[in-house]
Amino acid sequence: MSSGSDKPSLFPLVEIRQLTKSYVRGKQVLEVLHGINLDIPEGDFVALMGPSGSGKTTLLNLIGGIDSPTGGLLKIDGQRIDELSGNELAAWRASTVGFIFQSYNLMPVLTAQKNVELPLLLTDMNASERKHRANIALQLVGIADRASHKPNELSGGQQQRVAIARALVSDPRILICDEPTGDLDRKTADEVLTLLQQLNRQFGKTIVMVTHDPKAAEYAKHTVHLDKGTLVAEAGH
C-alpha cells in the first residue's frame, strides 16, 4: 500500500473556500453550510464535531463526493470536484475515496473476503489480483483469519474491520468515516480508532471522521467544530 505521501504536495489535499450547501423544501430554501473555509493537508487525521444539525455530515458528504455544494470552491488533490458531473463524480469517488460508515454496510450473503473485493469489481483487475489485494487489506486490519466468515458470523468490531479493509483495498487518497464507532462498545471502539490512527501514522492515510464522541476525536490530529453550519474553532491534539 502506498503511503499517499510519497509525492510532495504544493497545495492542501482538501481545499475548501466559501463553501455553501442549501436544500429546497417546498418553497423554503434551507442553507445548511454557510461559507466554510478549511484546508486539510495530506496525511492529516481530522475529526469533525458538532451538535446534531450542525452540518458536519453534510460537510463530510461534500468532501467525499457523495453530494455536491451549492456554492464556493471544493478542491481535492488539486481537482475542482464541485465542477464534476454526476458520472465524473462517481468515477472520481471510486478512485479517490474510501468510505467507512457506522452501520458497516456489508453484504450479508458475501464472505469478508468477497465484501472487501467489492470496490475492485469496478476496476479491470482480474480475480486472482482482487483476491490478493483483499488478503493484504484483511491482514492490515488484523482479521485475515476471518476471511471466509459472513457478517453474521462476526462481532461488530470484526465487521467494522472488514469495512475498513474494504475502504482500503483500492488504496484511496482519503478515508471518509461517518461515526465509525457509533455502534461499538468503548473497548471495541478504542481498538478500531487505534487501527485508524495506525493507518494515518504508519501509512500516511488522510482521514476525515465525523464523530459525536469526544474520546473518539482524541485519536485525531485535529478537531474541527461546526455549529449551525459554521466553523467554530479548530484545535490540535
Which residue in 97, 91, 90, 88 sits closest to 13, CA to CA? 97
- Is 61 inside any structural domain? yes
- Is 184 inside any structural domain? yes
- Is 185 inside any structural domain? yes
Query: Residue 175: what pLDDT?
Result: 96
- Is 15 inside any structural domain? no
| Domain, as residue range, for 153 | 42-67+87-236
- Is 108 inside any structural domain? yes
Q: Which residues of 148-181 are buried (b: 16+ CB within 10 A; e: fewer)?
A: ebbbeebebbbbbbbbbbbbbbbbbbbbbbbbbb
- Is 232 inside any structural domain? yes
Residue 141's CATH number: 3.40.50.300
| String of DSSP letters for 5-39 | -SS--SS-SEEEEEEEEEEEETTEEEEEEEEEEEE
- Is 162 inside any structural domain? yes
- Is 74 inside any structural domain? no
pLDDT in tens, the chain (237 residues): 544 444 445 579 999 999 999 999 889 999 999 999 999 999 999 999 999 889 999 999 999 999 999 999 999 999 999 999 989 998 899 889 999 998 899 999 999 999 999 999 888 889 999 999 999 999 999 999 999 999 999 999 999 999 999 999 999 999 999 999 998 999 999 999 999 999 999 999 999 999 999 999 999 999 999 999 999 866 555
Count how many domains the chain has. Answer: 1
| β-sheet bridge partners, residue 21 | 33
pTM, entire model? 0.90
Query: Residue 74: what pLDDT?
Result: 96
Instruction: Let me know: does 137 contact 80? Beta carbons within 8 Å.
Output: no
Query: Residue 6: what pLDDT?
Result: 46
Query: Residue 154: what pLDDT?
Result: 96
Query: Residue 122: what pLDDT?
Result: 80
